[in-house]
Structure 1
Amino acid sequence: MPQVILLPTALSEMFAQISNTGCITKADRYGLMAAILDESLSDEEKSALNRLLRAIAKGRLSLVDEISCVL
């Protein structure tokens, strides 16, 4: 099975974009899935990922069916 490798700043940029827009796009969801599968995440990246997942579970972020959520 191929290994998932994220770009070095992908998770932090995704976190910033989601925080600014308040919505999670299809592209963001695939990025989150790739991040979850990445075994080399730092503790800081894991914490940011967990914050995003909790915000989704609590309904504080909107899931949208668009590819991009640019303001």
Structure 2
Amino acid sequence: MNYQALLPEVIIAELVFQVYRSGILTLEHRKQLRSLFLYHNLSEEDTTAINRLLHAIRRGWLKIAD
């Protein structure tokens, strides 16, 4: 999917869905998150969704793939 043409909200929603469905945050997901933080002004809702992902990783509910 071409993520360049999509709005940040759509990208974040899709990314969160993929990570929770698979239970794994991949290198590609991490690159997308980094790009979103660097090049977009995120809304409070988007920031909350990303924080929930990070919290789930800290709690061990999600894994990080190398």
Normalized against structure 2, the TM-score is what?
A: 0.76
Task: Quickly say closer, same or farther: Cα 1:38–1:6, change in 2 above 3 A.
Answer: farther
Which has the greater radius of gyration?
A: 1
**Amino acid in the other structure paired with 1:64:** A
Compare the two structures and name the one with the higher helix fraction.
Answer: 2
Note the residue ranges of structure 1 that are not aligned, 5 or more in a row: 66-71
1:7 aligns with 2:1: no
In structure 2, C-alpha distance between the alignment counterparts of 1:6 and 1:53, rounded to whole Å = 25
Structure 2 unaligned regions, length at least 5: none
Flag the 1:44–1:6 CA change in 2: closer, same or farther, 3 A: farther
Query: Superposed, which structure 2 residues align to 1:52-63 within 5 Å?
Result: 52-63=53-64
Q: Is the 8 A contact 1:26 1:64 kept in 2?
A: yes
Contact 1:24-1:64 at 8 Å conserved across structures:
yes
Q: Map 1:1-71 to 2 at 5 A.
A: 7-8=6-7, 9-65=10-66
Q: Distance in 1 between matches of 2:52 and 2:17?
A: 12
Instruction: Give the root-mean-square deviation of aligned CA atoms.
Output: 1.9
In 1, the alpha carbon distance for the partners of 2:21 and 2:29 equals 13
